[in-house]
Structure 1
């Protein structure tokens, strides 16, 4: 297991632990976070092309969702969710974060995963009482290595017992990921022998977002981590398939409310090299 400490200019934010081995399930990554007691009361979540589970144990997190509803406990963030989380209240916690590609999320969370785009819900809204059992199990395990292994087995068990997305939809998602979101949707549909309308309908009904939005999120994710790695915005725009630097600027503003020059200081991006392997590895969503 790899571990480290996430720094911010005014102190230490979180202890971070990462599994040494990849998940047995393609499209699944995990990291463990331990609160250092100075998590800011307003924290921007950066959109990501995955469904994210925040499995909280050994403490509590309470936040207000975009509608102002108070949520407490463990959470599920839909693809592309990015908000300044206001009213954040933290009691020293441990939290295991799991990122699921939308294809895997369909199997793990059931049909409700298709309703998560740009939203946040509590875990028990999707899993009921199983969410309590899940977090109690994690709290009772002695180490992060044990928690990663147990969670990976739980995910594999749920996937084995669940229905899968259509193979053509899974293939289209994989092509978008490997192409960093830069391929044309019409070309994907043509390779499948489908119309654009049929691809849009199947993709949206099973993964919860349109092919165009999925491609934009994947492209944005690579671009913003290129910025964090110190690449010039003009080079990031050219390499990422943006028409020009202004196009990149508009996307970053739309997804984060920050400019390319300031988004690199966001805490959740600053820790990505340690927690998720960005920007130094070639890990994909």
Structure 2
């Protein structure tokens, strides 16, 4: 376990030694004695927070509701800077799921989360309590990662896949770092724009245009954290100008680009998520005529 310090806060951070057996899954473990007002920054993944420690994280959402313990959050949760986490003696394992595999793993579409935080118990019932107990019983972080990975692999194998066309469109958006055009994606697949929007939204939890903006923002935000200037980031990331970047960052986080550059939620990524926090995507292949294939 490595140490991450931000201000006076000290976090313990653990990473798996091996990649997940399920493409589209990344994990990290956290131990924080005093988690004080951590702003959750929107991310292009479904977040699964598995709590098992003596303490319990508390997450406050935009509507003033609180969730305690293990939770699930859809892609882009935290927009406007309205979701904050806190707690004492927190120990948890955080999983980031590609939206392409989230429906199979969760047993529900990310769209069913409706942009809100949901208790894992509401989705998994007693299995949520069992996984909490088992994570607390095993002796090491690597054992916890292995236990969680086996659970995710089992659920993924039994769950329904998304349409291969939808998966292909998502991979193109991620691969382009948010520079893909939705109309162009629909044309390459051979679908109408309306059909792509409908299937994408219902299966991944956000419409394609929002996905493009979220992926572009995530890439730009991590470059800001790395110390690059806002003007350079805006020019290289597909924004019209620096003011456009500023507006997007404010819309997603409620903070300026300068403030976002120091957010611990992003700054810890170099330790917890060496690949910049983006889950390795499942392989999907297809040609430009719309013959797209994926897991069935």
TM-score band (shorter)? over 0.9
State the TM-score, normalizing by the size of structure 1.
0.92
- Structure 1 residue 65 and structure 2 residue 61: aligned? yes
Alpha-carbon distance in structure 2 between the residues aligned to 1:262 and 1:92: 27
**Conserved? CA contact 1:54–1:98, under 8 Å:** yes
Superposed displacement of residue 112, structure 1: 4.2
Q: In the TM superposition, what are the counterparts of 1:13-162 in structure 2 within 5 Å?
A: 14-35=11-32, 37-40=33-36, 42-59=37-54, 60-82=56-78, 83-85=81-83, 90-162=87-159
> Which is bigger in relative contact order (C-alpha 8 A, separation at least 6)?
2
Q: Is the 8 A contact 2:34 2:90 kept in 1?
A: no
Distance of 2:66 and 2:214 partners within structure 1: 27
Number of aligned positions between the proteins: 278
For residues 189-228 of structure 1, what are the structure 2 equivalents within 5 Å? Answer: 189-228=186-225
Distance, in Å, in 1 between the alignment partners of 2:140 and 2:70 is: 19
The alpha-carbon deviation at position 71 of structure 1 amounts to 2.0
Secondary structure of the residue aligned to 2:35 is: coil
**Shift of residue 27, structure 1, vs aligned partner:** 1.3
Alpha-carbon distance between aligned partners in 1 of 2:24 and 2:67, rounded to the nearest angstrom: 27
Unaligned 5+ segments in structure 1 are none
1:199–1:112: structure 2 CA closer, same or farther, 3 Å change rule?
closer
The secondary structure found in structure 1 opposite 2:67 is: strand
For structure 2, the 5+ residue unaligned runs are 282-296
When the two chains are superposed, the root-mean-square deviation of aligned CA atoms in Å is: 1.8
CA distance in 2 between partners of 1:268 and 1:118 (Å): 19
| Partners of 1:45 and 1:85 within 8 A in 2 | yes
1:230-241 matches, within 5 Å, as: 230-241=227-238
CA–CA distance in structure 2, aligned partners of residues 226 and 117 of structure 1: 29
